[in-house]
A and B are shown apart, each in its own frame.
Chain A
Amino acid sequence: MSEPLFEFLCRMGDNTLVLGHRVSEWCGVAPVLEEDIALANTALDLIGQTTLWLNLAGAVEGKGRDADALAFRRDVWEFRNVLLVEQLNGDFGQTMMRQFLFDLWHKGMLIALQGSSHDQIAAIAEKSLKEVTYHLERTTDTVIGLGDGTDESHNRMQKALDRLYPFVGEMFVSDDVDAAMVAESIAPDPADLRPVFDARLDEVLSDATLVRPTSDFAHKGGKSGQRHSEHLGHMLSQMQWLQRAYPDATW
């Protein structure tokens, strides 16, 4: 394991990078124009946050890598995002459910990070929180609207929840990196974020007439980098293609 702070920053940055890229895949093909633009805005917010996290990660590492080098020159096993964000977009409902589950975790994490002992982390969290608060508002409304909508939309949302719920647990698993962050008051213990997450999730799912899966089985291996799903490699081959083929290409 490399330096814990570097690891932690890569986790934050890789979550927003991978999800931002996934969401950007909707550009031009979303079900309606308004959602298309909203999804593109969300993707841009996330990529903007990625730049902040990964530039800081590069500075902490001290080997001259910036956000671009970290985003485009690492291979799958060096990525530290949770498995949830690399899952395929699926239909619009699945994308919204994935976004909602992530936003809900993300908001809790950023609120805690605002009180970080690390000034730059606290500043990034404060800036990101404004964006993420809006993301969560939007996805909450959409999950409720579609869940409590027609039979078809309800069934699709329930299917999306059943499919994605096994990826929720990983966001709250604590490991050595987290323990090191807690010891220096840099970041919260992810496990401590779970009760607030659960309470809000239950409220929203109840409004959405959706049933929370009973099994707490959780896929793991994303944030540790030990076992990403096959989807990430395919995504990276698209995302990194240009920098791999033409290193340091500029406009």
Chain B
Amino acid sequence: MSSPESGSYDATEAAPHGKPRATEWPLWEVFIRGQHGLSHRHVGSLHAADAESAIKNARDVYTRRNEGVSIWVVEAAAIAASSPEEKGPLYEPSNDKVYRHPTFFDIPDDVGAM
């Protein structure tokens, strides 16, 4: 996920969901690179017993309509996420520093996507 506002991960300290039940498969986050996509995007999450079956499940749940050419899965518990409460100190200082954004240049078409 690209911004802390869009949600938090189950397994982070910021959003404790308790321990999974013993009979429950771990949660995996799924990232898919689309046909013309440049990078993998987070598309959702699912449960699976291991990484291999997580990829198979991701294939079935998220790519049946030809969405992807590449799948990444990562166990949700392995993701470190910033905490939504720290939004202010982390991001607001950059709001008034427009010179940090390269908006004053005309980008030549030949450069392509940036």
Contact = CB atoms under 8 A, between A and B. Distances in A.
A32 B45 CA distance: 14
A134 B57 CA distance: 12
B106 interface: no
Interface stretch (A63-71, A137-145, A179-187): A137-145
Given A32-B47, A34-B48, A141 B53 contact: yes
Interface residues of B, number: 13
A98 B112 CA distance: 52
Interface string B44-72: 00111100110011011100100000000
Contacts of B47: 32-34
A141 B52 CA distance: 9
A37 interface: yes
B25 A145 contact: no
B111 to A, nearest CB: 38
B61 A32 contact: no
B53 A37 contact: no
A38 interface: yes
Question: For B25, B49, B60, which residue has the most chain A Cβ atoms within 10 angstroms?
Answer: B60
Interface in A123-150: 134, 137-138, 141, 145
Contacts of B60: 34, 37-38, 41
Interface in B6-63: 25, 46-49, 52-53, 56-57, 59-61
A96 to B, nearest CB: 13
A145 B61 contact: no
A154 to B, nearest CB: 15
A80 to B, nearest CB: 30
Nearest to A42: B60
A113 B92 CA distance: 64
A38 B49 contact: no
Closest 6 CB pairs of A and B: A34-B57, A38-B60, A41-B60, A37-B60, A37-B61, A34-B46
Interface of A: 32-34, 37-38, 41, 134, 137-138, 141, 145
Given A32-B25, A38-B60, 20 more contacts: A32-B47, A33-B46, A34-B46, A34-B47, A34-B48, A34-B57, A34-B60, A34-B61, A37-B57, A37-B61, A38-B56, A38-B57, A38-B61, A41-B60, A41-B64, A138-B56, A141-B52, A141-B53, A141-B56, A145-B49
